Amino acid sequence: MPLHDVGYRSWKSHRCGPAATVWVIAVTGIRLAWESRWLRRLVFFAWSPALIFAASFFAFEQAVDEGRLSSLGEAAEHGRNLDGVGMLGTVLADALGGDPTDVDVESTRRLVWTRLLLAFMRAPQALLLAAVVGLVAPTLISRDLRAKAWLVYFTRPVGRREYILGKATILLLLVLAITMLPALALWLMGVLVSPSLSVALETWDLPLRIIMASLALAIPTVLLALAYSSLTAESRIASFAWFATWVALSIAHGALTTADMVARIRAEQAAVEQLTAADLADGHATTERPSRHFHRRTEPRPSAFQRQFRWLARAAGIDVSHDRWAWVSPYHALGVMQAAIFGIDPRIRSWGPPAATLTVITIGSLLVLAWRVTAPARG
């Protein structure tokens, strides 16, 4: 009987390298995640706020094209609802300042576009990002731990770095699909509906700022979600930890800012009482006090329209008052960083503490991932 060589045959092809490994893990993870009907609905719904903001871009460029920007600014100052949600009116009232008749179209366009894009990425998209990441991330690593899939991964030429990058790429692509792509589409639509395509050259840096703001939003959140997923084999626990972090720290931020506001109001009331007592002791008439001590009270109060859309003013960078507790909450810290990237609030005292918080989250999450991913193999 003849003998045949049944041994190992030599490898005649070439290996693709670590990048291909990362891509295979990412594509497989996205395909599995996309089977979720809720994820498809959330991604589709994430593009719907862009329609509202697109109406604001269109209304502004139509006003520029028809020479109605001055009248639009006057209407915005009086708090008129210009586009159905008051968004463009609020932004224009701040962008045009106190003299809407003297309008520099180029600088006004840049300011309006910047603040509309910032509001879009900071208000609806950041919240939708939390929902999408909370739906997908908890199962990415915890499911592998529960099913002992690491026996398959790490018996092949897959290292810890490739595994973490592959899992992070799954979330990164989803996050960019609901933050960066709609924002870039808004900028492109603004260029297309503008009177001249030269507007693209005037606002050339906005796409770069969109990309930077999207990455600043995505990297800490993606790594934190993966770190939670790696700490437990139960995806429900990781999901609870993710949403609890966003909700609890946002509540803590609200409590701290409210306490500051109450303390400031009480301090002002105490100062008023001291001034009143001093005036009475000196025998001054009470009718003289408003002109002597309370001239700052004569400033116009915000209209009901402005109070109603105060959340939008904060999100769009119109309200740039210093938020000293922003570092407590990831949501508010990310918003401050995005405002700094768009050039709305570049003060170091504003973005310094939030940047430190996000850096700690990023580095800490990486350390947890590096420790937990190979922990089953070491045990």
The alpha carbon of residue 105 and the mean position of all alpha carbons in its chain are separated, in whole angstroms, by: 28
Identify the burial level of 327 via C-beta atoms within 10 angstroms of its C-beta, where 0-12 means exposed, 13-18 middle and 19 or more buried. buried
Is residue 314 domain-shared with residue 201, that is, in the same domain? Answer: no
Is residue 177 domain-shared with residue 288, that is, in the same domain? Answer: no
Residue 269 structural domain: 249-362
Q: Which of 180, 206, 235 is the last residue of a domain?
A: 235
Is residue 144 domain-shared with residue 207, that is, in the same domain? Answer: yes
Is residue 164 domain-shared with residue 305, that is, in the same domain? Answer: no
Is residue 89 domain-shared with residue 183, that is, in the same domain? Answer: yes
How far, in Å, CA of 150 to CA of 343, rounded? 44
Cβ–Cβ < 8 Å for 332, 359: no
Domain annotation covers residue 345: yes
Could you give the number of structural domains in the chain?
A: 2
Is residue 24 domain-shared with residue 105, that is, in the same domain? Answer: yes
Is residue 36 domain-shared with residue 136, that is, in the same domain? Answer: yes
Domain annotation covers residue 376: no
Is residue 208 domain-shared with residue 287, that is, in the same domain? Answer: no
Is residue 170 domain-shared with residue 307, that is, in the same domain? Answer: no
Domain annotation covers residue 7: no
Domain annotation covers residue 368: no
Is residue 173 domain-shared with residue 116, that is, in the same domain? Answer: yes
Is residue 136 domain-shared with residue 285, that is, in the same domain? Answer: no
- Mind listing the pLDDT tens digit of every residue in the chain (379 residues)? 555 555 666 666 666 777 788 888 888 889 988 888 888 888 888 888 888 888 888 888 877 777 766 666 666 655 555 544 456 666 666 666 555 556 677 777 888 888 888 888 888 888 888 888 988 998 888 888 887 776 677 666 777 888 889 999 999 999 999 999 999 999 998 888 888 888 888 889 999 999 999 999 999 999 999 999 999 888 899 999 999 999 999 999 889 988 888 888 888 888 888 887 777 776 654 444 444 444 444 444 444 444 555 556 666 666 667 788 889 999 989 988 998 999 888 888 888 999 999 999 999 999 999 888 876 656 5
Is residue 210 domain-shared with residue 270, that is, in the same domain? Answer: no
Spell out the residues 6+ positions from residue 178 whose beta carbon is closer than 8 angstroms to its own. Answer: 42, 43, 46, 47, 125, 128, 129, 132
